[in-house]
Amino acid sequence: MTNPHSPWPGLLAGVALLAAVPGAAQTRPTLNFYGASGLIDMPSAEAQRDGVLTASTSFFGGIGRTTLGFQITPRLSASFRYAGIRDWNATLPEAERTGVNAFDTYYDRSFDLRYQILSEGRYRPALAVGLQDFIGTGVLSGEYIVATKHLTRELALTAGLGWGRLGSEGDIGRFGDRPAFIPDSTGGEINADQWFRGRYAPFAGIEWQPSQRWALKAEYSSDAYEVESGARRVFEHRSPFNFGVEYRPNPGVQLGVYSLHGSEFGLAVHFLIDPRDRASVGLVDDAPVPIRPRPPRAANPGAWSPDWVGQPDANRLLRGNMQKVLTDSGIHIEALALTSEAAELRIRNTRHDAEAQAIGRTARAMAWALPASVERFEIVPVVNGVPTARVVLRRADLERLEFAPDAATALRPQVAITEVGPPLAPLQPDPALYPGFSWSLSPYLRTSLFDPEEPLRADLGLRLRGQYRVAPGLLLSGSVTQKLAGNIDEAQSSSNSVLPHVRSDTGRYSAEGETALERLTATWYARPADALYSRVTLGYLERMYGGASAELLWRPVNSRLALGAEVNYARKRGFDQRFGFLRGDAAYDVVTGHVSAYYDFGDEFTAQLDVGRYLAGDVGATLSLSRQFANGWKIGAFATKTDVSAEDFGEGSFDKGIRLEIPLTVILGQPTRQTSAYTLRPLTRDGGARLAVEGRLYEMLQDHQGRGLDRQWGRFWK
Amino acid sequence: MRLLFLIPLLLLAGCGSDEQSSDRVRLLRAALGAVTDRDQNRPLRPEEMGLTRAALAGITTPLALATVEATGASALLAPFGSNGGVTTWSSADHKALALHDGVLLATRGLGPDLMSSEAPTAAQIARGSGQHDRVHYQLDGLDRTVRLPYRCALATRGERMIEVIGRTYRTTLVEERCEGPGGRFTNEFWLENGGTIRQSRQIFDQKLGRILLQRIVD
């Protein structure tokens, strides 16, 4: 080798060439005051990286906005926003301070959707269309078409046309009429009748990113802030020109300082999270045991003898040896079945977020401990006593592929994942597992959001949980909570709902249930047939209801489609959340039920449709769409429309919200099955409300079946 | 940013008898360690381990010392199993390296593990010249296998006298320079006369860099 220092100049040149391809967007897409891809107050045609979640908060001139954003697909993004306008009624005479003008700060929730029609090309600008505040009372409503083009690697120009509030400054024409904004309306309806109607006005701006960290922006805004700077005099709008400087200390944070409307200073902070990244470097856990290869049969025929199977103790001894290996990995053996050529091991995985990793470690333990004549390994994951799938491997493949290049991909075609079917041989359970008791004591946080009086309320307390596993599938569990501090009890002291108060009494439950029996249930899980799962739950099902719940789910191991049905009888519990139920006029009971269809589109998207009867006796359907990343992040939205009229439902018109589930393993870089789940509703009302039973079947089986296993198959050998 | 993660974590604090509770305690401790950079379980540096020839005198099992260059963390490794000529060397704190005649094929327990690889054989390296392909397989944040191909060249850098825990060895240094779309790196192998790799520096992850591997007891 003559020049070992640069052996591959050709390859380097290729990389340099790739980096210099013109037309590709060179600057990073930044966020605006609405938490959307854009300039300062105006949008741009850029999109964030696919899948990126953003949390933004911005403030200027008494106007604050907090926005959660999600780049749903490479072109489609959505935002949910909570905005507050201070000094809302300051200029109004006392007599007019009623209804929506009763509040000195006006709070409003809004949803946006944006779609990038064209991505940027060599000569072609990126083009996007957006709907801002398209459901709801519409104080922020505006629509736009916008184009963005990079002139150099660092410099991008944006120009667009806005309607609604984005067409209020320097309008150049109009398309028909646009209904005026009425703050007192109920909101919640999709305001399609006003999209791209009324006056329209141009806006434009420029963004320069001299370095990876800094950005300078200037824009001409087409928003005159007519409501805020008009009679209400929240701030003074002197000029349509805005200027800003932004700094990005790391790729996950954007900070900005701005001069706005010729009269105000503004601040904005954005957090960007890519669910695909692990917060720490990789997943740190203990090394698994290596595969112990069997001696060659010719050299050691004695080791291959199948005679061991006649030993009366064989099952117990082998189970014990494997459990020793698996305990460190948080895997418990539920039962073992043996023949001289095959073994079926039923396992409960309590630690690994990737079931494939638990399967891999179980296979290693089997190769470690089982006699040489056992060639076929059948591993059956068990959740709450219910077997979920059968994973069949050949021991010779494990021995052959342990150190093979890309061993996980090489092994997968040799593995069969099928329905559980009948056991291989009589199963011998581990007698130590049942009955079993476990408990935990931990803090809890309960929030009540978006009350116009006080947008963020919370209770903090302690929760004591206990679980008694009577037999496989039969579970007694409960939790008791003790509130330590909080202010949720100040909320909604009297609900104004015209429907039965099935959810709107939260404040009373919080006020009177300082020490509460949160749940106390007996649950029986079973698998009546292949691909069929059932659940029956009795007792105090949740904070507000007790009763009975029964569910049946059809979910074949490798199917995209699953179907379910659930029927519940629910009785409203006493506000003190002890053992009693409400009596007299307040007494309430109802039979609810749903049929559900679940579909996995692949590519991370799933949908769920529930049709049935809800807690207030209303009949309707819920559609949920979510994107689930292989590492467990789940981001979704749901909407429920029932036969309750928008008027009876009250503010918000129908039930809707977003759901976010964060697997703690990606944050901490250690394996755990724990996740943090949040459901965010703009409003919690009584229409379209469902019973919150724990342990619904679809979620329970999610990770333990064909598609869930395959998504993280790379972890098999980890 | 790290402090932000503490907020949900504090809600995880707690105790109990179930796996989730012990998880919670484990995770909380890890997270606090990450925030304060004070980890009680920090692996020791070799000098802190008191490794001397005298201390090793009575030991008959093969031993190797591995040090992750980026963190300075060291561990003593002993052979734990062998399959098809590849030996799994494990440490007491459950880290493991898979070595084929001293050539690193995989790591476990190190975080961004090298899941598997296509690497040259020790005999190929001992020749000290020529070109070859190398492929590393790692997992990304979605647990998908990422294939990192490299084109590599071997070069002999001459004789080197090296000291491994108080004993001097006469070796030949062979460098393996690799370059690919994922980056570039140089592995170094100090080979004894018979071709045994006495000491090496081999990469396992682009960010965490190389592992210094020393055979201290044969």
Question: Do B142 and A440 make contact, defined as CB atoms within 8 angstroms?
Answer: no
Q: Provide the pLDDT for residue B29.
A: 58
Question: Do A292 and B83 make contact, defined as CB atoms within 8 angstroms?
Answer: yes
Beta strands in chain B (DSSP E): 15-16, 63-68, 74-83, 86-90, 96-100, 103-108, 116-118, 129-139, 145-164, 167-180, 183-191, 197-205, 209-217
Average of pLDDT values for A657-668?
84
Nearest to B97 by CA among B217, B216, B212: B212
Residues of A in contact with B115 (CB under 8 A): 406-408, 714, 717-718
By Cβ distance, the residue of A278, A406, A439 closest to B17 is A439
Rounded CA separation A452/A496 (Å)? 14
Question: Do B18 and A439 make contact, defined as CB atoms within 8 angstroms?
Answer: yes
Query: Which tokens is A297 given?
Result: 């049969």
pLDDT digits (tens, 9 = 90+) for A401-447: 999 999 999 999 999 999 999 999 999 999 888 999 999 888 888 88
CATH pick for A22-273 out of 2.40.160.40, 3.90.1300.10, 3.40.50.970, 3.40.1080.10? 2.40.160.40
Q: What is the mean pLDDT of chain A?
A: 89
Chain A: closest CA distance from residue B199 (Å): 21
Residues of B in contact with A280 (CB under 8 A): 34, 111
Residues of B in contact with A662 (CB under 8 A): 8
Rounded CA separation A356/A361 (Å)? 9
Contacting B residues, span 128-187, partner chain A, CB-CB under 8 Å: 129-131, 135, 137, 139-145, 147, 151-155, 175, 177, 179-181
pLDDT band for A95, please (50, 70, 90 cuts): confident
Contact A484, A499 (CB under 8 A): no
Question: Do B13 and A403 make contact, defined as CB atoms within 8 angstroms?
Answer: no
Query: Which tokens is A106 given?
Result: 């006006």
Chain B: closest CA distance from residue A280 (Å): 9
Nearest to B123 by CA among B103, B147, B108: B103
Query: Which tokens is A390 given?
Result: 């059968």
Contacting A residues, span 523-582, partner chain B, CB-CB under 8 Å: none
pLDDT digits (tens, 9 = 90+) for A306-344: 999 999 999 999 999 999 999 999 999 999 999 999 999
pLDDT band for A2, please (50, 70, 90 cuts): very low
Q: Is A118 on the interface with B (CB under 8 A)?
A: no
Q: Is A52 on the interface with B (CB under 8 A)?
A: no
CATH of domain A301-432: 3.30.300
Between residues B74 and B114, the one the model is more confident about:
B114
pLDDT digits (tens, 9 = 90+) for A616-636: 999 999 999 999 998 889 999
Nearest to A357 by CA among A60, A704, A693: A704
Nearest to B142 by CA among A69, A350, A47, A282: A282
Query: Which tokens is B123 given?
Result: 């005999």
Domain ranges of chain B: 2-36, 46-217
Question: Do B15 and A253 make contact, defined as CB atoms within 8 angstroms?
Answer: no
Chain B: closest CA distance from residue A373 (Å): 18
Q: Provide the pLDDT for residue A709.
A: 87
Nearest to A689 by CA among A663, A665, A717, A654: A654
Question: Do A670 and B15 make contact, defined as CB atoms within 8 angstroms?
Answer: no
Query: Which tokens is B137 given?
Result: 């397989």
Q: Identical fold at A22-273 and A515-709?
A: yes
Our measurement of the distance from residue A520's CA atom to the centroid of its chain's CA atoms, rounded to an integer in Å, reads: 27
**Three-class secondary structure of residue A686 per DSSP:** coil
Prediction ipTM score: 0.88
Contact B188, B175 (CB under 8 A): yes
Chain A: closest CA distance from residue B33 (Å): 11
Residues of B in contact with A57 (CB under 8 A): none
Q: Is B105 on the interface with A (CB under 8 A)?
A: yes
Q: Within A301-354, where are the H helices?
A: 314-327
pLDDT digits (tens, 9 = 90+) for B175-189: 999 999 989 999 999
Buried b (16+ CB within 10 A) or exposed e, A32-66: bbbbbbbbbbbbbbbbbeebbbbebbbbbbbbbbb
Q: What is the pTM of this model?
A: 0.88
Rounded CA separation B151/B132 (Å)? 6
Category of B48 on φ-ψ map: left (φ > 0), alpha (ψ -120 to 50) or beta: alpha
Angle between the N-to-C axes of helices A314-327 and A355-369, in degrees from 0 to 180, rounded to the nearest 10: 130
Which residue of chain A has the CA closest to B180?
Answer: A11
Share of chain A above pLDDT 70, in %: 93
Chain A: closest CA distance from residue B54 (Å): 30
CATH pick for B46-217 out of 3.40.50.150, 3.40.50.620, 2.60.120.560, 2.40.360.10? 2.40.360.10
Chain A: closest CA distance from residue B198 (Å): 22
Q: Is B10 on the interface with A (CB under 8 A)?
A: yes
Our measurement of the distance from residue A518's CA atom to the centroid of its chain's CA atoms, rounded to an integer in Å, reads: 24
Question: Do A1 and B154 make contact, defined as CB atoms within 8 angstroms?
Answer: yes
CATH 2.40.160 assigned to A515-709: yes
Contact A389, A417 (CB under 8 A): yes
Q: Is A684 on the interface with B (CB under 8 A)?
A: no
